[in-house]
Amino acid sequence: MSVTHDPSAPSPQPAASARPNEAEIAAVGEARRISVARARLEALFDPGTFDEIGDRVLHRSTLFGMEKKQIPGDGVITGVGTVDGRTVYAFAQDRTVLGGSLGEAHALKIARLQDMALAAGAPFVGINDSGGARIQEGVEALGGYGEIFMRNVRSSGQIPQISVICGPCAGGAVYSPALTDFVFMVDGSSYMFLTGPKVVKTVTFEDVTVEELGGGRTHSEKTGVSHFLYPTDLEALAGVRKLLSFLPSNWKEKPPVMEGPDATDRLCPEVLEVFPESSRTPYDVRGIIDNVFDRSTFLEVHKGWAQNIVVGFARLAGRSVGVVANQPLEQAGCLDINASRKGARFIRTCNAYGIPIISIVDVPGFLPGCDQEHQGVINHGAKLLYAYCEATVPKLAVITRKSYGGAYIVMSSKHVGGDVNLAWPTAQIAVMGAKGAVEVLFRRKLAGEADPEAAALEAERHYEETFLTPDQATGRGFVDAVIEPAETRRKLARFLLRTETKNTARPERKHGNIPT
Amino acid sequence: MSAPKKYLVTLGKGGPTPIALSFDGHGAWKAVADELEMSIGLESVEGDIVKVTVDGRPLTLRVVTGPDGEVRMEKVQSQRTGGVPVRVRSEGEVILGSRAVAPAPDADPVLVAPITGVILAVEVAVGDTVTQGQPMLVLEAMKMETILSAPRDGIVKTVNVVVQDRVRTADILVELE
């Protein structure tokens, strides 16, 4: 098979027709029981490019009769190949060999591969399907996990690390995926937890299924541990290929540029069909994203979790960009603990790998309430603020509607290092909305009026004229330009191309101390 | 000789046929389908014209991929018919592409308030049949209307709110059967 794959050609998304049909599934029959680990690696890599390393490695355990259970490779396939022509290192655990359990030799195969990937400056993909630590090996198995974790952290921010969970991933095993940049899960056949349902039952008397405790939907909707959820292994692995197309091979390189058929100077009047006239009416911000960025390039990250903020990768003028957008459809688009965590994590990932960040701002503020305050929204909100302040990649923003209070400052404002901040004529930038502001500013004065309600309305109107426009912000230079919504794509693309050479010196220090 | 790789090949309306392909290391492939064994050599690929040899005999095929991903193939020598649809899936693709386990169950049949606010509109009544994603209530919170939709298909069992009710996060607003 040819390896002269065109790296500029993105991996196609698997069409529904790529799915196997009933007759094919029936014809495969018994073969379903064979090792799927190798099939997974074949699905990940360009055809014929995978070279295995260490297929004859043996464990050296002699306890509990293990000397009689020697299977070359020790339950994990490790090696290197190409994805869209670019080098990627990967392992796949094989549950048909000793349950895919992780012993010393199995772990050191993975650790050695991690060292090779880091040295080569190439992405690392782990396909997890393992019963856990190999009990017969005792502390050697535990030490094996530690060797992997240590390398996950050492590689963090240097090479993209992606974990795919295709089966069980329990106990200590969960921490390697948690330390990597992205986690993929498969609906119905993968799960992750620290302690399983049996132990949970004996300790807390809770009856819970594997799926409820740590299935793909739990981690994609409730916990945010999983970034992507797919119905089958085949689609998950195609998703990994697509994600890799947005990422550089390592932090010193640029992501591949893939200029498509979508003209950079195209006007996008369609955004106004999505955007409602009333500032009280919700809309799906993805309708704006789809029309502003290169068509059909948006890959949403954390789609099911903290839906009040939308994050994901897209292309603009063929360049890989990170999109962060408030979502008025969910919880009025307020920032809360989970939205802040989701946004912060995504921004730090983009910054680590040199991907510019484009923010689409329509945010009424942080979500009020005891629940949020007592769970520490101060610290969690500060993570998002920290991430924006820290990011040195080009940061562009468009304020479409509301940008109030602390949320205005956080969302890529000029004050926290925004490079180019644009606003639609409908932008409202203020400390708070009119009603609340008038109550604070004019409470005493209004009480003395003959008709307090009429006076309050008049005061609100005056406040709206003063603040609920972009004018005060443009006057101070906090918004660089007011643009027509239809120009959004063209303007963002041009400013992106003119800021992509940005080079910001970073202060010397060991590392910053992000709030937790 | 490489280890054989197995494929399922479907021609036209027929059922899938398992074919094992192995490379002999000298430019030829051995294909085994049922009891039949063939030696196949790839001569050239130019555009959609593919030239092969089957047990030494030359064969020229036209292979066209449609916009929906459908592949059609015909012999170039024969009268043009638009070709026969061909579907090839590796065994691995079939195994990985089928669901190993039943998908997780649907969402709970209750609609809870996602945010504290005031009910502005109630668009369903007890006994209504709703489909997933259908708007059921409008809630005002943070000076914004939020549309609350059915979490799954079902019949409305109870509606616990009326217009102007104040609700708190996680209150149960509508239950489905």
**Residues A323 and A297 sit within 8 Å (Cβ to Cβ):** no
pLDDT of A7 > 50? The answer is no
Residue pLDDT, tens place only, A443-500: 888 888 888 888 889 988 888 888 888 999 999 999 999 999 999 999 999 999 999 9
- pLDDT tens per residue, range A388-443: 999 999 999 999 999 999 999 999 999 999 999 999 999 999 988 888 888 888 88
Closest chain A CA to residue B107: A217
Three-state DSSP class for A367?
coil
Whole-angstrom Cα Rg for chain B: 29
Reference A105, options A64, A66, A159; nearest CA is A66
Look at the block and give the residue holding tokens 């069980």.
A168
Average pLDDT over every residue of A187-198: 94
Residues 327-356 of A with CB under 8 A from B: 328-334
Q: Residue B37, class by beta-carbon neighbours within 10 Å (0-12 exposed, 13-18 middle, 19+ buried)?
A: exposed
Confidence at residue A467, expressed as pLDDT on a 0 to 100 scale: 82
State the residue for tokens 């603040």.
A467
Average confidence (pLDDT) over A242-256: 97
Which residue in this structure is represented by tokens 């003959």?
A450
Encoding tokens for residue A66? 């293990």
Considering only residues 414 to 473 of chain A, which have any Cβ-Cβ distance to chain B shorter than 8 Å? 433, 435
CA–CA separation, B165 and A432 (whole Å): 25
Residue A208 forms contact with B (CB below 8 Å): no
Going by their DSSP bridges, the two strands A428-430 and A395-404 should be labelled as parallel
User: Residue for token digits 């010397």?
Assistant: A508
> Which amino acid type is present at position A106?
H
pLDDT tens string B59-107: 999 998 888 778 898 888 766 777 888 988 888 888 888 876 666 666 7
Question: What would the pLDDT profile of A80-95 be if each residue is shown by its tens digit?
Answer: 999 999 999 999 999 9
> Mind telling me how many Å the CA of B129 is from chain A's nearest CA?
24
Domains of chain A (ranges; CATH) run 29-246 (3.90.226.10), 271-431+469-499 (3.90.226.10), 434-467 (no CATH)
Sign of CA dihedral A218, A222, A224, A229: positive
Contact state of B97 with A331 under an 8 Å Cβ cutoff: no
Residue from the list A17, A188, A364 with its beta carbon closest to the beta carbon of B68 = A17
Asked whether the beta carbons of B1 and B25 are under 8 A apart, the reply is yes
Cα separation, A424 vs B24, whole angstroms:
65
CB-CB under 8 Å, A371 with B146: no
What is the per-residue pLDDT for B101? 63
Interchain contact B142–A (C-beta under 8 A):
yes
Does B66 reach chain A within 8 Å, measured CB to CB?
A: no
Give chain B positions within 8 Å (CB) of A372. Answer: none
Rounded average pLDDT over A67-80 = 92
- pLDDT band of residue B15 (cuts 50, 70, 90) is confident
Return the residue matching tokens 């040199």.
A354
Long-range contacts at A494-499 (CB < 8 A, ≥ 24 apart) = A494/A264, A495/A396, A495/A419, A495/A420, A495/A422, A496/A316, A496/A317, A496/A319, A496/A321, A496/A356, A496/A358, A496/A394, A496/A396, A497/A317, A497/A319, A499/A356, A499/A394, A499/A396, A499/A419, A499/A420
Active site residues of A: 171-172, 406-407
Task: Write out chain B residues lying below 8 Å of A20, CB-based.
Answer: 89, 93-94, 97-98
A242: DSSP letter: H
Q: pLDDT tens digit string along B100-132?
A: 666 666 678 899 998 999 999 999 999 999 999
Q: Which two tokens stand for residue A198?
A: 């049996």
pLDDT attached to residue A33? 59
Decide if A59 contacts A137 (C-beta within 8 A).
Answer: yes
Look up residue A222 and give its two tokens.
């409730």
pLDDT of A160 over the 90 cut:
yes
When the pLDDT of each residue in chain A is averaged and rounded to a whole number, the result is 92
With vertex at residue A313, the alpha carbon angle to CA A412 and CA A481, rounded to the nearest 5 degrees, is 35
A15 falls in which pLDDT band (50, 70, 90)?
A: very low
Whether B156 shows a pLDDT value over 80: the answer reads yes
What would the mean pLDDT of B137-159 be, rounded to a whole number? 92
End-to-end Cα, chain B, rounded Å: 61
Tally of CA atoms within 13 A in the half-sphere of A465 that contains its CB: 6
What's the rounded Cα separation, in Å, for the pair B29 and B27?
A: 7
- Asked if A126 contacts A114 with a C-beta cutoff of 8 angstroms, the reply is no
What percent of chain A lies above the pLDDT cut of 70?
95
Q: Nearest-CA distance from B166 to chain A in Å?
A: 15
Picking from B15, B68, B101, the nearest residue to A188 by CB comes out as B101
According to the model, what pLDDT value does residue A13 have? 44
ipTM above 0.90, yes or no: no
User: Is B152 touching A (CB cutoff 8 A)?
Assistant: no
For residue B16, give the nearest of A27, A38, A237 by CB distance: A27
- Determine the pLDDT at residue B103: 65
**Is residue B34 packed enough to be buried (19+ CB in 10 Å), middle (13-18) or exposed (0-12)?**
exposed
* Average pLDDT, integer, range A289-313: 97
pLDDT of residue A6: 42
Q: Which residues contact A228 (CB under 8 A, 6 or more apart)?
A: A182, A183, A184, A185, A220, A236, A239, A243, A301, A303
pLDDT surpasses 80 at A5: no
Residue whose structure tokens are 């996008």: A268
- In the DSSP assignment, the letter for residue B104 is P
User: Residue A248 carries which side chain, given as an amino acid letter?
Assistant: P
User: For B70, which residue in chain A has the nearest alpha carbon?
Assistant: A17
For A151, the token pair is 């390398």
pLDDT of the residue at A11: 43
How many CB pairs below 8 Å do chains A and B form together? 128
Q: Hey, is the C-beta of A496 within 8 angstroms of any chain B C-beta?
A: no
Mean pLDDT in residue range A104-116? 97
Q: Given a cut of 90, is residue A379 above it in pLDDT?
A: yes
Give dist(CA A134, CA A477) in Å, integer. Answer: 61
Which residues 6+ apart lie within 8 Å of A479 measured at CB? A399, A414, A421, A422, A423, A427, A429, A470, A473
The two tokens of residue B8 are 């399922």
- CA A33 to chain centroid, in Å, comes to 33
What chain B holds in terms of domains, given with CATH numbers, is 5-97 (3.30.700.30), 110-176 (2.40.50.100)
Which chain B positions have a beta carbon within 8 Å of A45's beta carbon?
A: none
DSSP state of B26: S
- Ranking A106-110, A255-259, B23-27, B33-37 by mean pLDDT, the lowest is B23-27
d(CA A229, CA A189): 11
Token output for B128: 């209504």
